[in-house]
Amino acid sequence: MPGTANFDTREHRFANAAALTEALALEITGALQDGLAAGRGASLAVPGGRTPVALFERLSGAELDWDDVWITLTDERWVDATSSSSNEKLVRDHLLREAAAEANFVGLKNASAEAHAGARLSWSSVAELPRPFDFMLLGMGDDGHVASLFPDSPGLAVALDPSQPPGCVAMTAPEPPRARLSLNLRALLDSRRIAVLIVGDAKWATYERARVRGPAVDMPVRALLQQQNVPVSVYWSP
């Protein structure tokens, strides 16, 4: 396609969500097993939203030494962890159960009143996890955002600057709850492999637009697709 960046993104397209879930669960489990076999512990960062719920439930029963696996979030809504809007609650309800109940979880929400005030403390906890992350799982919005790195959010350009140290950054979502905390680009890229999970024709169309070279601030997922240091895979089903 003229104007499309020539990156090494691996595209995995499946006939249905069940096939996608099974393949991606095996990919993540294998990555965690590699980390455990290396004796360093294993780490997994996951998003919120409804799309990964079936995947979380599939992973929760995987046969792993979960007590040596560390799980954190790519981003969080700045709400109480018991809120139905909380990514932490979603992960606790659907992933941290069955065998995976033994995993070590590090959330992003803390007692700070505002996300920007809590960012440093949140990162100090995440920074203790085995890194690079063995697997970084991300979703993508129709606007091309990943984690909570939204187009037009104040501070986005700095958050996408790969020369910045890895950390958590306060971001503003276009709809409530607007206050968010997100890993910045450098933290997302501190991973051995990255997968972007998308479902539906609209998301595939967004991904195809993002593959066309352009400013990452317009479609933050481009910051992942335009780098050459970390393998990125896209998993899609209708």
Residue 28: the pLDDT is 98
Residue 5: the pLDDT is 41
Q: What dihedral angle (degrees, nearest 10) is formed by the CA atoms of 108, 111, 53, 136?
A: 0
CB 24 within 8 A of CB 44: no
Residue 93: the pLDDT is 98
Residue 231: the pLDDT is 96
What is the DSSP-derived secondary structure letter of residue 111?
S
Q: How far apart are CA 176 and CA 6, in angstroms?
A: 36
Q: Which residues in the chain show pLDDT less than 50?
A: 1-6
Q: How many CB atoms lie within 10 A of CB 172?
A: 15
Q: What dihedral angle (degrees, nearest 10) is formed by the CA atoms of 31, 230, 217, 123?
A: 60
pTM of the predicted structure, to 2 decimals: 0.95
Q: How far apart are CA 205 and CA 63, in angstroms?
A: 36
CB 4 within 8 A of CB 33: no
Q: How many CB atoms lie within 10 A of CB 36?
A: 18
Q: Domains of the chain, with CATH numbers?
A: 10-237 (3.40.50.1360)
Return the closest-CA partner of residue 44 out of 53, 151, 34.
Answer: 34
The CA angle 16-196-191, to the nearest 5 degrees, is: 140
Residue 8: the pLDDT is 73
Q: How far apart are CA 187 and CA 165, in angstroms?
A: 8
**Amino acid found at 209:** R
Q: For residue 70, what are its two tokens? A: 């560390």
